[in-house]
Structures are given as structure tokens and as C-alpha cells.
Amino acid sequence: MIPISKVHLGREVEELVLEVLRSGTIAQGPRVAELEKLFATLNDSRHVVAVNNGTTALIAALAVLDLKPGDEVITSPFTFVATLNAILATGATVRFADISRHDFCVDPDSVAKLVNERTRVLMPVHLYGQTADMARISQIANENDLKIVEDAAQAHFAKFEGRAAGNWGIGCFSLYATKNITSGEGGLISTNDDAVADKLRVLRNQGMRQRYQYEMAGNNYRMTDLQAAVCLPQLGAYSRLVESRKRNAETLSHGLRDVQGIHLPREIAGRDHVWHQYTIVVDERFGKTREELAAALEARGVSSGSYYPRLVHDYDCYRNDPRVVIDETPVAAQIAASCLSLPVHQYLTDSDLSTIVTAVKESATR
Ligand SMILES: *Cc1c(COP(=O)(O)O)cnc(C)c1O
């Protein structure tokens, strides 16, 4: 089977993890500080604060903004559930803007329509490794005095007009096992605001700047040096990883260009896509549903995934929650029902890529 994602950590990671294990500093220590510093440099961010996972990154970023019950956060309905859960954890109300078919991220026109006197935060999700339209989202935020929290869990070092994800507001990255870079579990928060960074560091550590001097009701959001040691060596190899994902995406798009009824993902001009996922959209002309295509691919040895098969709020546990306000988002609904991600990761061989292309083509006709 060609897997949809693959984790392969090399010798350098093994050695650094062993070094940390033997050092005796296995909770937060110098390796976490090193990871924060290196990521900040590579991302062109003033500050990076490491936390224990990407969901925590979102929760902490929102917590810094002191949202009150009734305050509204506008986000995408086409995302991983962590985006929604993090907003609910702060006590705020969530509103969903529709997405654009071109980038699978929130459509600025739809965001603008939802803004009202209760709106406090815009929370775009840079889905699949490509940023949302941050020029227009920033403009809406500026005009209405709103904060931006970027869910960049899938978009490490993706760029919009040359500026990296996480620099348009408070940026939240995940280092979960299947993300482009990983620490097993882990998260990073980027900010160019000194006060926000300071508050995040105190919040992460039980509200303490000095031992037993509590400044706020904090939490334990700390990352361990073991996690940082898993991640650090990957940063040096990151540009190669993106190059190979980009090349794989181009090979898939070239091979699939004439297949009727599937829409191929595109890197929009001015954006640097990091290809966390390569996601096609299947329409009626293809002759098979998304589920039938996934099954046909599986039979030919190709794994695929639907990220995400339903809108994030479309589950019983959210339906009667008064803080989950559901507006019509027809584009997102249609794409959730018909999207399918194909393997694009850096471990694919040329032969894997031609297997994937052939499998999709054969599935279309048989
Ligand atoms: C992975 C992911 C998260 C959550 O990150 P974890 O590290 O798994 O907690 C949040 N948002 C999106 C869009 C994600 O893909």
C-alpha cells in the first residue's frame, strides 16, 4: 500500500533524543528554547512559544485575547475539529464563513458578511499547506479592529506575498505526527507582539513568572525537551521536504490533467504552498463518488483520505450548543462531500507517483 502519510525520523533525531534522555532534563529545557529560536528565525517571527500540541496552541492564543462570553470568532467550517474545540474552550461563540473553491480557505467576502459588533477574532485556517487570502483578511480585521489568530497547523513556512504564515496575527502550528514537521505531539505559537509572547509564556507555565508567584490563572501547556529533540533536526531539512512535496504535486497534476470530473489543487499566484495535502474534488462527470473512488484506489494499493468528510459543526454534539452558530456555507458543504486527498509526501518514489496517477485514471473508466 502507498500510505497517505509516513513518519520516518532519521539517525540525527535518534541521537538527539538519546542525548536529551541522558542529560536528565527531560521536561522543558534548553532544547525547547533552541526549537523556539530556530523556528522564529526561519519563520521571520519575533517570538515563538512552544506548547504541548497544536490544539493547545490555539487555546492559548485565544486565551491571551481575553474573550468574554458572547464574543464571536469567525472561522472556517471546513477544518479539523480542533479549530472549533479551541474556540469553545475559551467560552466564545463561533461563526462559520464559507470557503473559496480555489484555496479551500475562508472566503473574505463571506467573512465580511458575518462581522458585527460582537466579532472579536478572525481565525482563518491555512488548509492543506496554502494560506488563506491574508491581504483581504487583514484588511477586514484592520477596518473592524479585530484580532487575527491563524490556524497554521498544516502550513509551516507557507507564505502569502512573501510573508510567512503566523506573521499576520498570532500563528498556531501543530507538530503532530502526520504534519509536515513533527515532534510526535507538539505545537508552536508565533507572534510579533512582545506583550502577547510574554503572556503566552506565563500562561503556559501555570501563570508563574517566578516560582509560586501567580500572575494569572494559567495552565500546563509546556513542551518537553524530548519532543523538541524529535523536531529540531527536521527544520534543517525542511526546504528539501517542501521541494519534494511540490515536485510530487506537480507530477500528480501533470498526470491527472486530462481526467474528466476531477478538479486539481493549485498553488495560487503570490502564495507558497507547502503541500501538506494534495486534495482533488470529484464531480458528477467523474462517474464515481468520492467514496467509490477511494475504494477503487484502495483496491489498487493507494491510500487516500477525506479531510474533512463533513463540515466541522455537523455532528450531534455541536447541534444544540448555542455558542455554535451555523450559517449556510454551500461551497464548503459541497467540497466536504466530494474532496479526496492523495498521497503527496516526500517519501513517494517516481513509481509510486505513476501508480497513483494510473489508479485514478483506471478508477474513472472501470
Ligand atoms: C492538526 C490540526 C490541529 C490540531 O493540532 P494537534 O497538534 O493535533 O492538537 C488544528 N487545526 C488543524 C487545521 C489541524 O490540521
The answer to whether residues 63 and 24 belong to one domain is: yes
pLDDT band at 366 (very low <50, low <70, confident <90, very high): low
The reply to whether ligand 1 has any atom less than 6 angstroms from the CB of 52 is no
Range of the domain at 174: 11-236
Residue 6 lies in a domain: no
Are 39 and 134 found together in one domain? Answer: yes
Task: Identify the pLDDT of residue 282.
Answer: 97
Average pLDDT over residues 250-265: 97
Is residue 200 in some structural domain?
yes
pLDDT at 71: 98
Percent of the chain with pLDDT over 90: 99
Nearest CA to ligand 1 atom 14: 153
- Whether residues 131 and 245 share a domain: the answer is no
Separation of 80 CA from ligand 1 center, angstroms?
6
- The secondary element (H helix, E strand) that includes residue 148 is strand 147-151
Residue among 5, 56, 73, 80 to mutate when testing ligand 1 (max atoms within 8 A of CB): 80
Per-residue confidence (pLDDT) for residue 365, from 0 to 100: 75
Number of folded domains that form the chain: 2
3-state SS of the chain: helix, strand, coil percent to 5? Answer: 40, 20, 40
Is ligand 1 within 6 A of the CB of residue 341?
no
Give the mutation target among 55, 56, 126 for probing the ligand 1 site: most ligand atoms within 8 A of CB.
55
| CB within 8 Å of 224: residues ≥ 6 apart | 26, 27, 28, 32, 52
pLDDT digit string, tens, across residues 192-216: 999 999 999 999 999 999 999 999 9
pLDDT tens for residues 301-347? Answer: 999 999 999 999 999 999 999 999 999 999 999 999 999 999 999 99
Cβ atoms within 10 A of the Cβ of 73, count? 26
The reply to whether 20 and 54 lie within a common domain is: yes
**Using one digit for the tens of pLDDT, what is the confidence trace for 30-43?**
999 999 999 999 99
User: What is the residue with the minimal CA distance to atom 7 of ligand 1?
Assistant: 54
Percent of the chain with pLDDT over 70: 100
**Single-letter residue type at 117:** E
Please say whether the beta carbons of 189 and 64 come within 8 A: no
Note the pLDDT of residue 328.
Answer: 97
State if residue 154 touches ligand 1 by the CB under 6 angstroms criterion. yes
Mean pLDDT (the chain, rounded): 97
pLDDT in tens, 86-145: 999 999 999 999 999 999 999 999 999 999 999 999 999 999 999 999 999 999 999 999
| Residue 245 belongs to a domain | yes
Is residue 81 included in any domain, yes or no?
yes
Of 236, 267, 290, the position where a domain reaches its end is: 236
**Is residue 44 left, alpha or beta, with left meaning phi > 0 and alpha meaning psi from -120 to 50?**
left
